[in-house]
Structure 1
Amino acid sequence: MPGGTKRTGRLTKRSEFLAARKGRRLNGPYFFVETHLRDDDAPPRFGLTVTKKVGNAVVRNRIRRRLREAIRVTAGEAMKPGVDYVIVARRDVLEVAFGTLTDELSRRFDRFDPGQSPNAHQRRERRNGV
Structure 2
Amino acid sequence: MTPPSTPPVSDADPRASVSAVSSCPQEASAAPKVQILQKRSDFLAAARARRQGTPAMLVQARRRAPDEAASGIRVGFTCSKKVGNAVARNRAKRRLREIARLELALHGHDGWDYVLIGRKDATAERDFLLLRQDLVEALQKLHAPRTRRS
Specify if TM > 0.5: yes
Q: Given that residues 78 and 106 in structure 1 are in contact (C-alpha distance below 8 angstroms), is that contact kept between their aligned partners in structure 2?
A: yes
What is the aligned partner in structure 2 of residue 55 from structure 1? Answer: 84
Instruction: Give the alignment of 1:7-26 within 5 angstroms.
Output: 7-26=33-52
2:38 maps to amino acid: T
Among candidates 12, 23, 40, match of residue 2 of structure 1? 23
What count of residue pairs does the alignment treat as equivalent?
A: 120
What is the aligned partner in structure 2 of residue 72 from structure 1? Answer: 101
TM superposition shift of 1:76? 3.3
What is the aligned partner in structure 1 of residue 135 from structure 2? Answer: 105
> What TM-score comes out, normalization by structure 1 length?
0.82
CA distance in 2, matches of 1:54, 1:76: 27
Moved more, 1-10 or 11-20: 1-10
Moved more, 34-43 or 93-102: 34-43
Unmatched 5+ stretches in structure 2: 1-21
1:67 maps to amino acid: L
Q: Percent identity?
A: 36
Q: Given that residues 75 and 103 in structure 1 are in contact (C-alpha distance below 8 angstroms), is that contact kept between their aligned partners in structure 2?
A: no
Between 1 and 2, higher relative CO (CA 8 Å, sep ≥ 6) is seen in: 1
1:94 maps to amino acid: A
Unmatched 5+ stretches in structure 1: none
TM superposition shift of 1:115? 6.4
Q: Given that residues 34 and 87 in structure 1 are in contact (C-alpha distance below 8 angstroms), is that contact kept between their aligned partners in structure 2?
A: yes
- Report the 3-state secondary structure (helix = DSSP H, G, I; strand = E; otherwise coil) of the residue aligned with 2:143: coil
- Residue deviations 1:55-93 (CA, integer Å, cap 9, x gap): 011110011111111111234311111110111110201
